[in-house]
């Protein structure tokens, strides 16, 4: 179970920087000092020193480099989380294929999110997209989501579940789904792997939008295919949609479908403006799927910050389709699933260990699942 965001109300978000470059540590520190609600409690040069620092001063968020001497980021993640359960780890490294592969491993080990570092120190100076994204993610991971979103956007709406509140649920669609869609962001890769493994092979086409930059989505699709034993690829513009295939929206492109059953459907990729500060975004994908499948659509919204997918799920509900959402306790950030849950758009709000079996049940999948339903029950 994922513990709630650690920062308590009434105090600042405590942040630790872990990077072997003194220059980079200094530049990131300058960015953090721009936000009065963030307190830099430690700035260290490797994972081993970070562990020693946590002994003295706890942190809410650790900004962790990948390659460092003595103890690198991958080695440090499980040790840091064991030392302080509930610590949010934000990986930061330059965007290369190798680093993207390592970052995906880091996310599987328990890192909460990733931010690509600029390739040159001068790019960190001033109000750059990196600075804005860094502050945005630190605030969300630290439990203070009401801040300006990246790229000078207005504040994003954030749904937070209040203790004891009840979520209004809708009935499932009376027709079986002909397509399944997933939307996710922060914490999404781990959640997706769990759900797709538990669901097993599905007969419907599966459309997946995870907020990630280009290189990452290519590797995400490959990892899903390998680890979940399903046919999964990064979507290609113009390709024909086939049953049982998982299509991953490429970084920096919105993914949509064109056509309608029983005729052939095809994938469309575009670089229209970001929606909800994201490209790819969940909402344009869902709008196109509603137009194609109507009520025969099942949507699953998993952990993620912000509210991307909310308006798309409104369209799904209006068309008579079904929406499932991950619950707060098992989400790294209950922004996206919380938004659709609190809007009364869901047929179920479930812990991550129950979602795959539920998808399998609704989808009418045949053959043995990779894990039994009983094994996933609490």
State mean pLDDT over 150-155.
37
Domain boundary among 93, 124, 141: 141
| 308 given a catalytic annotation | yes
Are residues 254 and 115 part of one domain?
no
CB 44 within 8 A of CB 36: no
Are residues 208 and 330 part of one domain?
yes
Q: How many CB atoms lie within 10 A of CB 52?
A: 12
Domain count within the chain: 2
Structural domain contains residue 148: no
Give the pLDDT confidence of 162-191 residue by residue, as tens digits: 344 688 999 999 999 999 999 999 999 999
- Of 96, 259, 179, 258, the closest CA to residue 270 belongs to 258
Exactly one of 19, 35, 198, 308 is catalytic; name it: 308
| 211 given a catalytic annotation | yes
Are residues 367 and 237 part of one domain?
yes
Domain boundary among 141, 162, 190: 141
**CA 112 → CA 40, 176, 191, distances in Å?**
19, 34, 11
Give the pLDDT confidence of 303-331 residue by residue, as tens digits: 999 999 999 999 999 999 999 999 999 99
In the structure, what pLDDT confidence band is assigned to residue 7 with cuts at 50, 70 and 90?
low
Distance CA 100, CA 71 (A): 19
Exactly one of 140, 211, 245, 307 is catalytic; name it: 211
- Residue-number span of the structural domain to which 109 is assigned: 13-141
DSSP, collapsed to helix, strand or coil, labels residue 324 as strand
Give the pLDDT confidence of 184-239 residue by residue, as tens digits: 999 999 999 999 999 999 999 999 999 998 989 999 999 999 999 999 999 999 99
| pLDDT given for residue 344 in this prediction | 97
Distance CA 178, CA 297 (A): 6
Are residues 221 and 111 part of one domain?
no
Report the DSSP beta bridge partners of residue 91.
Answer: 64, 114
Give the pLDDT confidence of 106-120 residue by residue, as tens digits: 998 999 999 888 766
Could you tell me which residue, 3 or 344, shows the higher pLDDT?
344
| pLDDT given for residue 148 in this prediction | 45
State mean pLDDT over 63-71.
93
In the structure, what pLDDT confidence band is assigned to residue 149 with cuts at 50, 70 and 90?
very low
State mean pLDDT over 131-152.
73
| pLDDT given for residue 117 in this prediction | 82
Structural domain contains residue 275: yes
Can you give the CATH number for the domain in which 110 is found?
A: 3.40.50.2300
Domain boundary among 141, 168, 197: 141
Structural domain contains residue 101: yes
Structural domain contains residue 163: no
- Strands 266-270, 254-258: pairing is antiparallel
Give the pLDDT confidence of 272-307 residue by residue, as tens digits: 999 998 999 999 999 999 999 999 999 999 999 999
Q: How many CB atoms lie within 10 A of CB 55?
A: 9
Can you give the CATH number for the domain in which 299 is found?
A: 3.40.50.180
Could you tell me which residue, 81 or 133, shows the higher pLDDT?
81
State mean pLDDT over 81-110.
88
Are residues 132 and 236 part of one domain?
no
Are residues 266 and 125 part of one domain?
no
CB 182 within 8 A of CB 192: yes
pTM of the prediction?
Answer: 0.84
Are residues 134 and 267 part of one domain?
no
Average pLDDT score, the chain: 87
Are residues 105 and 245 part of one domain?
no
pLDDT of 355 strictly over 50: yes
Exactly one of 185, 330, 331, 347 is catalytic; name it: 185
Structural domain contains residue 173: no
| pLDDT given for residue 98 in this prediction | 79
Distance CA 284, CA 315 (A): 11
- Of 9, 335, 356, 358, the closest CA to residue 192 belongs to 356
Tokens representing residue 306 in the block: 């912000």
Distance CA 213, CA 221 (A): 13
Backbone phi, psi, residue 268, to 5°: -125, 135
| pLDDT given for residue 377 in this prediction | 31
State mean pLDDT over 1-23.
76
Structural domain contains residue 169: no
| pLDDT given for residue 103 in this prediction | 87
Percent of the chain scored above 70 by pLDDT?
85
Are residues 183 and 297 part of one domain?
yes
Structural domain contains residue 161: no
């Amino acid at each position: 179970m994922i513990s709630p965001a650690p920062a308590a109300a009434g105090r600042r978000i405590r942040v630790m920087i872990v990077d072997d470059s003194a220059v980079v540590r200094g530049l990131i520190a300058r960015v953090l000092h721009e936000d009065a609600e963030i307190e830099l409690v430690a700035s260290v040069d490797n994972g081993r020193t970070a562990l020693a620092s946590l002994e003295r001063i706890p942190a809410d968020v650790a900004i962790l480099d990948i390659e460092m001497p003595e103890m690198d980021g991958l080695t440090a993640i499980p040790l840091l989380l064991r030392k302080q359960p509930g610590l949010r780890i934000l990986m930061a490294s330059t965007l290369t294929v190798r680093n993207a592969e390592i970052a995906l491993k880091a996310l599987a080990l328990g890192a909460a999110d990733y931010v690509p570092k600029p390739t040159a120190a001068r790019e960190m100076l001033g109000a750059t997209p990196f600075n804005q994204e860094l502050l945005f993610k630190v605030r969300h991971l630290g439990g203070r989501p009401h801040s300006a979103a990246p790229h000078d956007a207005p504040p994003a709406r954030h749904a937070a579940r209040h203790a004891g509140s009840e979520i209004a649920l809708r009935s499932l669609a009376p027709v079986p789904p002909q397509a399944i869609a997933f939307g996710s962001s922060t914490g999404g890769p781990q959640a997706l792997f769990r759900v797709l493994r538990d669901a097993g092979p599905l007969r419907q086409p599966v459309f997946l939008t995870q907020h990630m930059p280009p290189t990452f989505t290519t590797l995400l699709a490959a990892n899903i295919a390998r680890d979940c034993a399903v046919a999964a690829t990064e979507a290609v513009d113009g390709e024909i949609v086939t049953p049982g295939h998982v299509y991953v929206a490429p970084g920096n492109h919105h993914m949509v479908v064109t056509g309608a059953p029983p005729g052939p459907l095809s994938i469309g990729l575009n670089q229209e403006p970001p929606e909800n500060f994201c490209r790819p975004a969940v909402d344009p994908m869902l709008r196109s799927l509603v137009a194609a499948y109507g009520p025969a659509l099942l949507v699953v919204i998993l952990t993620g910050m912000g509210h991307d997918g909310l308006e798309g799920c409104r369209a799904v509900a209006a068309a008579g389709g079904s929406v499932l959402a991950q619950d707060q306790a098992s989400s790294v950030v209950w922004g996206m699933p919380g938004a659709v849950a609190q809007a009364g758009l869901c047929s179920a709000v479930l812990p991550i260990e129950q979602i795959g079996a539920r998808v399998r049940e609704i989808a009418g999948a045949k053959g043995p699942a990779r894990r039994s339903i009983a094994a996933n029950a609490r």
